[in-house]
Amino acid sequence: MLPFATLLQLTTATSTPLYVQLSQQLGQLIRAGTLAAGQRLPGSRLLAAQLAINRLTVVAAYDDLLAQGWLSSRGGSGTFVADHLPEPAPQSIHNQVVNPTVQPGYTFASRPHLKVPVRNSPAGLRFDDGLPDARLAPLDELSGAYRSYSRWGNKQAHFGYADTHGHPFLREQLAQHLNETRGLQIGPANVLITRGTVMGIHLVCQTLLRPGDVLVTGGITWTTASMNAQQAGARVLTVPVDEHGLDVDALADLCARQPVRMVYITPHHHYPTTVTLRADRRLRLLQLADQYGFALFEDDYDYDFHYLGRPILPLASADRHGMVVYVGSMTKSVAPAFRVGYVVAPSALIDELARLRRIIDRQGDPALEFAIGQLFETGEMKRHFRKALRTYLGRRDHIAQLLSSELANDLSFTKPDGGLALWATFRPDVDLPALAEQAASLGLSLSSGLPHVRPGQQPHSIRMGFASSTEAELEQAVAILKRVTMGPNNKASRR
């Protein structure tokens, strides 16, 4: 007889019922081979006495294992481990030292291009990546619109499976909004709703890129876009970015030397430097796309916030040959938690993206998509954009004044024409990763600059998001930044 009192450890200090604990532990003994196939188990009274528990607890555990097929009952003979179970294979030393909650027993390839730290929205004082202030979001109006979804129309239709293209109501409202504000000439058939820009980039890269294809982007760019291209098997090549945006002459030279499948660009406010692509370069870029046949992937991540007159219309507004794929989202316009984005393209591509989306994410969030569509229809979203634009303009001017007066000798920047962040370049002797660590110890979150340089390079510039902080919070943040940058005992300020 096995020493069940030693092998089985039951406790009342957990919410798991005793019979479940007993069933699970007996099952583990069977799977490990400690209890062999065909072995007779002690009667319920005997095992209950050994474990000092109620007999009914043992009966319930045995019944559970019988239902799962681990045990079999023979009338008049007792309860046995099922005969059909295979004999456990001897475990190697390697398998014995593996922690199965950490490492699987099989191998898999870890992709180096995916090993990029994920930066979450920080709490407290911050210079983030350029996020909106969620405190300004029309949350009450959105909540009301969200609740109305359950009272509108057919319940079976609204809470069942939905269109892989996205909610038709939001597609209609977005098409109208984009036509009015961005000069596009599209209909709902040209719009695919996604769970943010990242999903749109992933779908497009998986659809348009094949192993060995070339995607071209700026020398400094959004890492996530490059990661998606690499995930699709494409090669990522870069061209310089200067004070006027992407160097299209360098792009033309590259296209003359080899085929290019796609060009990823953020022309309105280049990520991360915030510069706007000059008008002549925009025209040349469209001409090159038509000449060489590459897709222009335009990421217009913060079009709604431009402070110097009217925003420059996107490349997609001047596209007459179907070369531009245009993406955007509510993430930068409202708040990152609202995972609603969109892809705009010829309907044939939109349909193919929807087919691919089906095997990744069957559909989005119809209730949320409907609610956001309502905010567009009622004009609430436009009112939010106007209010947020005024607020962010004031915060841009305030941070520019603070940095100019407090840190003029330590960093330089150009006040951005739009967007939610500025691009600051520190003096060469500042160790930005160390600076970020010291700032964090004092309650200020800011970038180390490492995401914007190649491995092994020393960063000198960072994005400093200002929109998510009030003017008082910006003042506190700059005070901490000044302290860690200029302090006489600050190691971050010396090599």
360 in a domain, yes or no?
Answer: yes
Do 65 and 157 lie in a common domain?
no
- Which residue range is the domain that position 54 belongs to? 4-81
Among candidate residues 328, 346, 381, the one where a domain is terminated = 381
Among candidate residues 381, 412, 429, the one where a domain is terminated = 381
Closest CA to 467 of 137, 143, 55, 41: 137
Q: What is the pLDDT of residue 29?
A: 92
65 in a domain, yes or no?
Answer: yes
Radius of gyration (C-alpha) of the chain in whole angstroms: 30
Domain count, the chain: 3
Do 435 and 364 lie in a common domain?
no
460 in a domain, yes or no?
Answer: yes
Do 340 and 485 lie in a common domain?
no
Do 366 and 465 lie in a common domain?
no
Alpha-carbon distance 356 to 204, whole Å? 10
Among candidate residues 338, 365, 381, the one where a domain is terminated = 381
Q: What is the pLDDT of residue 492?
A: 47
123 in a domain, yes or no?
Answer: no
User: What CATH number did the domain enclosing 348 receive?
Assistant: 3.40.640.10
Do 55 and 151 lie in a common domain?
no
Per-residue b or e along 193-221, where b marks 16 or more CB atoms closer than 10 Å to that residue's CB: bbbbbbbbbbbbbbbbbeeebbbbbbebb
Burial class (CB in 10 A: 0-12, 13-18, 19+), 102: exposed
Do 187 and 70 lie in a common domain?
no
Do 413 and 475 lie in a common domain?
yes
Q: For each of the chain's 495 residues, which pLDDT tens digit applies? A: 678 888 899 999 999 999 999 999 999 999 888 898 899 999 999 999 999 999 999 999 999 999 999 999 887 889 999 988 777 665 554 455 567 778 787 777 888 777 777 777 677 899 998 889 989 888 888 888 878 877 766 666 667 777 899 999 999 999 999 999 999 999 999 999 999 899 999 999 999 999 999 999 999 888 889 999 999 999 999 999 998 999 999 999 999 999 999 999 999 889 999 998 999 999 999 999 999 999 999 999 888 888 887 778 899 999 999 999 999 988 877 777 778 899 999 999 999 999 999 998 878 888 889 889 999 999 999 999 999 999 999 999 999 999 999 999 999 999 998 899 999 999 999 999 999 999 999 999 999 988 888 777 888 999 999 999 999 999 999 999 999 987 644 544 443
Report which residue type is found at 316.
A
Report whether the peptide linkage leading into residue 259 is cis, meaning its omega lies within 30 degrees of zero: no
CB count within 10 Å of CB 122 equals 17
Do 67 and 168 lie in a common domain?
no
Alpha-carbon distance 110 to 6, whole Å? 41
Do 162 and 45 lie in a common domain?
no
User: What CATH number did the domain enclosing 446 receive?
Assistant: 3.90.1150.10
Alpha-carbon distance 353 to 459, whole Å? 37
Do 249 and 273 lie in a common domain?
yes
Alpha-carbon distance 200 to 225, whole Å? 10
180 in a domain, yes or no?
Answer: yes
Token digits for 235?
């090669």
pTM above 0.95, yes or no: no
Cα torsion through 282, 288, 294, 297, rounded to 10: -10
Do 279 and 371 lie in a common domain?
yes
